[in-house]
Structure 1
Amino acid sequence: MPSFAEMTKVFARVGLLGFGGPAGQIAMMHRALVEERRWLSEERFLHALNYCMLLPGPEAQQLATYAGWLLHGVRGGIVAGLLFVLPGLAVIIALSAAYALHQDASWLNGLFFGLKAAVLSIVLQAVVRLAAKTLKTPFLRAIAVLAFIALFVLALPFPLVVLGAGVAGYLRARRSGVEKTAAQTPAVDRPPLLQSLASLLFWVAVWQLPLLILWLLGGGGGLSSMFAFFSQMALVTFGGAYAVLAYVAQVAVAQYHWLKPGEMLDGLALAETTPGPLVLVLSFVGFMVGYRTVPGIDPVLGGILGSLLTAWATFVPSFIWIFAGAPYIERLRGNASLSAALSAITAAVVGVIANLALWFGLHVLFAEVRHLAFFGGEAAPGISWPLPASLNIAALALFAVSALLLLRLKVGMVKVLAMTAAAGLLLHLLGL
């Protein structure tokens, strides 16, 4: 078991280097916590990941919070979850301020070009290792393949795929006649029900405290309606940031007029170049709301306030889900039927990460990716397919070099990220 200082140092590094979306971030945590330091077993890490995949909100941040809670209780969960978000939040606030003052994000195009190529190698490594350790039966391999097809080809809703896998695993276990396994002793005692309810109410009150303060201060311009809106979004954001970006963009532009047309895409470009969860793009929206609507203070200070409030509304629920549910989820490790359901979810997660890795890889290596529908129409099921002529040779070369360094030569992850980031910046400055 690590000391609190050791744990803090590791999660600070994960927060600073957490590029590449949930696939890259989960891969980094698995490498740091399971493979390199062995603070968590493979089974316990996957058990936590399965639970986080079922929750609304950023699953990678929830996994960091869960891991911190396993290592050092509530204070460990708070520190791990905050360190996962705060570096990216600081960067997105700085970039949003620069954007609001200058209305230009083009200078960011090549800044993290090489970094993404290296993250793609880390994600590929995670998929291969996770598949080798979890897909040990034909049934689990079939679940992984079906989950990948359901997401990449049929574009089925993410929660439906994960829940379907869990139900399939549970029913198969029940049909096989498995019983509760006494050998798997729960590592965490279940807290009393009243204590759990009191803890839940406390965290909900903490979550909504800014709304009360804004109401007492007269609304803070458009900040109170913004905070209420993003609090609602935090409860329904299954499947990551992309699942809600289109809806948030529509509401922010057409209904509330917080953003101008096209600014949401600029905000997404800013979020893509920051560490941490991609849902930090919502803090860009919060910055613009504060920048434009808060009376009586400097616009940049209003923007910072709006960004912080958005982050509070978005990420505090993740702590609620973990601290309220994790003690009960840990006890499920002693139930064979439910463990079988979670094993099936683990197999589906392999398909999910493979889907994320392929999507991420297509957009890193190709300048143009099209959607090929089976039955016609933009909303029809289909697959993403790159235009071969748009292959970025520089991105392919950086990916190949980083894969060689990581997978074959076993060079440290931080060194590889630093080298590829420097190479990508140099290529951009040379106009290549």
Structure 2
Amino acid sequence: MTTKAPYSLTDLVRYFLRLGTLGFGGPPALVSAMHRDLVAERGWIAEMDYREGLALAQLAPGPLAAQLAIYLGYVHYGVWGATLTGVAFVIPSFIMVLALGVAYVQFEGLPPMQALFYGIGAAVTGIIAVGTYRLTRKTVRADDPLGWLLLGISAGATILTETELLWLVLLSGGVYWLFNRRPGLIRFNTGNSVALVLAQALTLPTDSILWKLALFFTKAGVFVFGSGLAIVPFLYGGVVKEYGWLTEQQFLDAVAVAMITPGPVVITVAFIGFLVAGFPGAGVSALATFLPCYLFTILPAPYFRRWGKHSGVKAFVDGITIAAVGAIAGAVVVLARRQLTDLPATAMALISIGLLYRFPKLPELVLIGGAALAGLLIRYFF
């Protein structure tokens, strides 16, 4: 049974519409923004509810940020809240990606757009770094050496492997539970039947391109764990190598579109679907990818809500959350290595960090707009 919410469902849907429209930076930035806005500043979501959602999103297959948004919608408004917040979070970037897909086909490439987002990428890296720093301070107590150790191991593993390791996240939860001597860990078996049905659906024979897209992207939603970036290798193996739907360059451009648009990174599936089969392909690809993550969030959610305050579960969730934040911190380093390839980009990232540190209330959109203009000037005039 849920407690009375200090906000309306309309308020929450509006928030996720805004985050989906203006939230650049992929999973690290979006997860940090949800904590900052909904937990720290507005007090709409309790810290423990946020941790439960982050832990569930980390354990279940599918895009991390979208699953967390769905869970936070569920906290006070159940399945209806989860559904509306999930749609509100995804739909703005879906529309943007469709528009970019039309422009891409019309102009045969993205060079002007990539120049525009050269500066945006640098600023977003700085924004992510600050958000991750704040999230880390909220997650791990200063007097918790085990927590800092687990966070450091998770961050280091993410930097070295450039992926999030599910086994390490689970191990972190187990170790934290063990050292805090919390008894009575609860096991959750929810969602196995759904996974079975989805797995059986994957074997249905058909020659329709839309059915092929639906089956392939359902696999992506069911079997890929971690942040939205974790789906990229899986997509490459399918759309380029196995099916030949896109060329190497088209696939790289699809990933670029995901990185330079707000909202969840995994929305790149809509861009790919559009290039393969137009508007129907975009809709089918997005629905097939996000539906499994929606189901894998709302089905276990009642159990997390019921048992999440249990001492054993709480310790396990805390350990998973620490590892998840460590993975996010590691992802910041990975992203910075790829994005900050020259001195101007590095300077813009450092300036963004400095401005956000000095002026915590500075709107991120102001930074992003200024960086976009700077990026254009640097690319075309220097």
Percent sequence identity is 31
Distance, in Å, in 2 between the alignment partners of 1:166 and 1:306 is: 39
Runs of 4+, deviation exceeding 4 Å: 154-157
Distance, in Å, in 1 between the alignment partners of 2:40 and 2:252 is: 37
Give the TM-score taking structure 1 as reference length: 0.78
Name 1:89's counterpart in structure 2.
94
Q: 2:353 aligns with which of 398, 403, 421?
A: 403
Name 1:355's counterpart in structure 2.
330
Change (3 A) 1:26 1:308: same
Q: Is the 8 A contact 2:222 2:293 kept in 1?
A: no
- After TM superposition, list the pairs within 5 Å mapping 1:321-400 onto structure 2: 321-366=296-341, 391-393=342-344, 395-400=345-350
Distance, in Å, in 2 between the alignment partners of 1:247 and 1:41 is: 35
SS for the counterpart of 2:81 is helix
Name 2:281's counterpart in structure 1.
306
Q: Is the 8 A contact 1:135 1:347 kept in 2?
A: yes
1:237 is displaced (CA, Å) by: 1.0
Name 1:383's counterpart in structure 2.
none
Change (3 A) 1:156 1:5: closer
Distance, in Å, in 2 between the alignment partners of 1:411 and 1:419 is: 16
Distance, in Å, in 2 between the alignment partners of 1:78 and 1:353 is: 25
Q: Is the 8 A contact 2:55 2:317 kept in 1?
A: yes
1:110 aligned onto 2:97: no
1:283 aligned onto 2:270: yes
- After TM superposition, list the pairs within 5 Å mapping 1:210-359 onto structure 2: 221-290=208-277, 303-359=278-334
SS for the counterpart of 1:262 is helix
Change (3 A) 1:343 1:396: same
1:60 is displaced (CA, Å) by: 0.3
Change (3 A) 1:83 1:156: closer
Distance, in Å, in 2 between the alignment partners of 1:255 and 1:118 is: 36
* Letter aligned with residue 310 of structure 1: S
SS for the counterpart of 1:110 is helix
CA-based RMSD: 3.0
SS for the counterpart of 1:112 is helix
Name 1:166's counterpart in structure 2.
173
Distance, in Å, in 2 between the alignment partners of 1:50 and 1:7 is: 21
Distance, in Å, in 2 between the alignment partners of 1:352 and 1:72 is: 29
1:141 aligned onto 2:148: yes
Name 1:71's counterpart in structure 2.
76
Change (3 A) 1:304 1:95: same
Q: Is the 8 A contact 1:165 1:344 kept in 2?
A: yes
**Farther off after superposition, 52-61 or 4-13:** 4-13
Change (3 A) 1:170 1:349: same
Change (3 A) 1:241 1:60: closer
1:114 is displaced (CA, Å) by: 3.1
1:405 is displaced (CA, Å) by: 2.6
Name 1:431's counterpart in structure 2.
381
**Farther off after superposition, 86-95 or 276-285:** 276-285
Distance, in Å, in 2 between the alignment partners of 1:320 and 1:21 is: 22
Distance, in Å, in 1 between the alignment partners of 2:241 and 2:228 is: 20
- Higher RCO (CA 8 Å, separation ≥ 6 residues): 2
Q: Is the 8 A contact 1:271 1:278 kept in 2?
A: yes
Name 2:370's counterpart in structure 1.
420
Q: Deviations over 1:379-423 (max 9, x none)?
A: xxxxxxxxxxxx232x23322332233221223334434543453
Number of residue-to-residue matches in the alignment:
371
Distance, in Å, in 1 between the alignment partners of 2:164 and 2:151 is: 16
1:156 is displaced (CA, Å) by: 6.9
Query: Greater CA radius of gyration, 1 or 2?
Result: 1
* Letter aligned with residue 54 of structure 2: L
Name 1:297's counterpart in structure 2.
none
Give the TM-score taking structure 2 as reference length: 0.87
Q: Is the 8 A contact 2:20 2:262 kept in 1?
A: yes
Structure with greater proportional helix content: 2
Name 1:152's counterpart in structure 2.
159
Distance, in Å, in 2 between the alignment partners of 1:68 and 1:54 is: 18
Q: 1:26 aligns with which of 16, 26, 31?
A: 31
Change (3 A) 1:34 1:122: farther
**Farther off after superposition, 112-121 or 348-357:** 112-121
